[in-house]
Structure 1
């Protein structure tokens, strides 16, 4: 399954009552596709999955599938720290018609490597969907070791990993050992080009909400052999990438979208919106880029 090179981990728009706003979701989808997103991740961390109910996720999956209408792959965030609940949501998402599932490592329970392997195996055996592993130890506490990723890559429908470890040596080791059909995606915007340069497939991005065209151009310059130009663009984009993580995500990117006249609303507690001072700093970085 080719998910594309530039995937956006889409925010979930809320109205003034903090309910999902499907009309703005439609507007956001069109914006993302128009600015270079080649795939959409729905109800992931950036989509505030911890505070979305099961029914809200189902509603969101249905709406995105309908609006996208096959134009780009849709990857549903279906993972949790409850294996059976992850299986159930993945199966429902499959029935709705998504193209893949993003399954995060179980958080809080702190399983060992065998527990992580068995968690993913159990989910993979209950669905035909292609599965993208999500390795993010900064949020989940546990980390998929290189050996575990390689072992999981041998399961037919586990086809990719979103790697947010920041460990280029580990990522290179994974790439060296997995089969050609297995894809490694950066989970950190600032590592898009470095990971691509060692054989990664692309990025699951937050910054592409704001600088999607530029990120796609950077990837294409690299693929055309214009490495110096790609590197210059990478360095130019870094301040925006950093600014979009000045506070817990997705608070900064939701403010940045507001700046771009896409009113996706606020965040749900326990997250809080940016302070006026933080917003001013964020908008200043965006203005300096334009």
Structure 2
């Protein structure tokens, strides 16, 4: 049930006057597809999903299904620390035409490894489209273990894991233990090449919001056997990849998009404008990269 190979942009959500700006949302989708992005994630962490109202979240997923319209795979962010709520979002995403759902393990209440298995199993069993497990301990406070991912990989529609633990040893073990039972996507833009080297299929990317072609080419080069070109692009893109975390994501990427003339809109509290010293560093990096 492979969902995509390549670079999936974790798209920002543009806000204007406190509301979702669907006109800008459509422009960003069109630009991403034009610039060779291989898939689009809507309402992920970078999309400020934690501050979307229920109506906004559902409206984004429904609008994305209609507007993307099969041009590239559409991944819906439907994770929550409330299993029943995540089931509802995932079912609505499937109705909206999503090709897969991205499911985070419970944050704040956290659960145990057995609880994570029960949580993701319940969601996967409630839908027919593929599930991508999202492991990001820095956000959830709980790492999903290799053994847990192995157990979840037995579920027919649990198709992939987005690995953002930052632990290459763990990713290598997932690849060794799970083999072809689950696809691996890098959740960190600076780890794309190392993860592909152990069998990963690509990346779910923050940086692709501003450098979609380079992130696409990084993966495509590796898959075509041009390891040297992939290495060059990993080193090149790391200037941007690291800059995207000068402050909490998505503050830097929305700031960068604004500087580049891409209408990413406002940030929503509790996220605020980037500090001037960090913005100056970011601006310098964008200039060095050739984006300004």
TM-score past 0.5 threshold: yes
Q: CA deviation at 1:262?
A: 1.2
Q: Report 1:137-156 matches (<5 A).
A: 137-156=137-156
Q: CA deviation at 1:179?
A: 4.4
What's 2:275 paired with? Answer: 275
- Partner of 1:103, secondary structure, is strand
Counterpart-to-counterpart distance in 2, 1:269 and 1:164? 24
Distance 1:225 1:77 in 2: 31
1:21 matched to 2:21: yes
**Could you list the runs of 5+ residues in structure 1 that have no partner in the other structure?**
none
So what's the TM-score if we normalise by structure 1? 0.97
In the alignment, what sits opposite 1:213? Answer: 213
Q: Which residue of 1 aligns with 2:9?
A: 8
Deviations 1:240-259 (A, max 9, x none): 11111110000111111112
| Residue equivalent to 1:38 | 38
Matched position secondary structure for 2:210: helix
Residues 2, 159 of structure 2: 8 Å contact kept: no
3-state DSSP class of the match of 2:8?
Answer: strand
Q: Which residue of 2 aligns with 1:175?
A: 175
Q: Paired residues, what number?
A: 289
Q: Confirm or deny that 1:186 pairs with 2:186.
A: yes
Is the CA contact (8 Å cut-off) linking 1:3 and 1:38 kept in structure 2?
Answer: no
Q: Aligned partners of 1:93, 1:225: CA distance in 2, in Å?
A: 35
Q: Structure 2: which 5+ runs fail to align?
A: none
Does structure 2 retain, via aligned residues, the 8 Å contact 1:251–1:266? no
Q: What is the CA–CA distance in structure 1 between the aligned matches of 2:47 and 2:139, rounded to whole Å?
A: 15
Distance 2:3 2:193 in 1: 18
Question: Residue 178 of structure 1: SS of its match in structure 2?
Answer: helix
CA RMSD of aligned residues (A): 1.2
Helix, strand or coil for the counterpart of 2:19?
coil
In 2, Cα distance between equivalents of 1:9 and 1:99: 15
**Corresponding position of 2:245:** 245
Partners of 2:38 and 2:216 within 8 A in 1: no
Aligned to 1:256: 256
The superposition leaves residues 208-247 of structure 1 with CA deviations (integer Å, 9 ceiling, x where unpaired) of 1111111222222222322223212211211111111110
Partner in structure 2 of residue 235 of structure 1:
235
Residues 46-101 of structure 1 deviation map (CA, whole Å, 9 limit, x = unaligned): 00111001110111011111111110111111110001111111111111111110
Superposition deviation, residue 181 in structure 1: 4.7
Measured in 2, the distance between the counterparts of 1:65 and 1:281 equals 37
